[in-house]
Amino acid sequence: MKVAFGCDHAGWKLKDDIFKYLLENRISVSDYGTHSSESVDYPDYAERVCRDIIDAQADMGILICGTGLGMAIAANKFKGIRAVTVCDEFSAEMARAHNDANVITFGSRVIGPGLACKILDRFLNTSYEKGRHQHRLNKIAGFESGAEKSII
Ligand code: RB5
């Protein structure tokens, strides 16, 4: 598995622990920064990570900002990206199993490194179940192209 990583100056605080987890688990990572606490704009990092996934240079993305929310909002503007902000292990599992999420976002001002790594572990080690979930994801993909119309 190959992972693309990005964070802003707020998310940078969690970076060391996330990288320690990735290293220990021999997960290959492309690190797009940021590399310091100097203020930057989180959409730039979300874009870089999402483009790696879209170009098949990465299987999954990890994005960290202060809340995880701005990163998720930015990432979900990219076609084919399903980004989720997760604060618990159950949601991490469901985001993969039912939603085939390909980007996880964390808020460094929301959760600590121990929980973030547990959540990440569950996320990266859960497979998408396909089956009944696929036509729902197809509908979401239809929203991106403007093809999908509500039936209710
Ligand atoms: C930066 O202060 C903060 O706004 C950013 O990290 C993020 O939380 C935005 O969603």
- Residue-wise pLDDT for 37-96, tens only, equals 999 999 999 999 999 999 999 999 999 999 999 999 999 999 999 999 999 999 999 999
Q: Can you give 26-53 as a three-state secondary structure string?
A: CCEEEECCCCCCCCCCHHHHHHHHHHHH
Specify the pLDDT at position 152: 73
Shortest-distance Cα residue to atom 3 of ligand 1: 66
Report residue 122's pLDDT band, with 50, 70 and 90 as the boundaries.
Answer: very high
In sequence order, which ranges of the chain are alpha helices (DSSP H)?
A: 12-24, 42-54, 69-75, 89-97, 113-124, 134-145
Under CATH, to which class is 2-145 assigned? alpha beta
- Separation of 73 CA from ligand 1 center, angstroms? 11
Q: Is 65 in the pocket of ligand 1 (CB under 6 A)?
A: yes
Specify the pLDDT at position 42: 98
Distance of CA 25 to the CA centre of its chain: 18
Residue 131: which residues within 8 A CB-CB, separation 6 or more? none
pTM: 0.96
Q: Is 7 in the pocket of ligand 1 (CB under 6 A)?
A: no
Q: Is 8 in the pocket of ligand 1 (CB under 6 A)?
A: yes
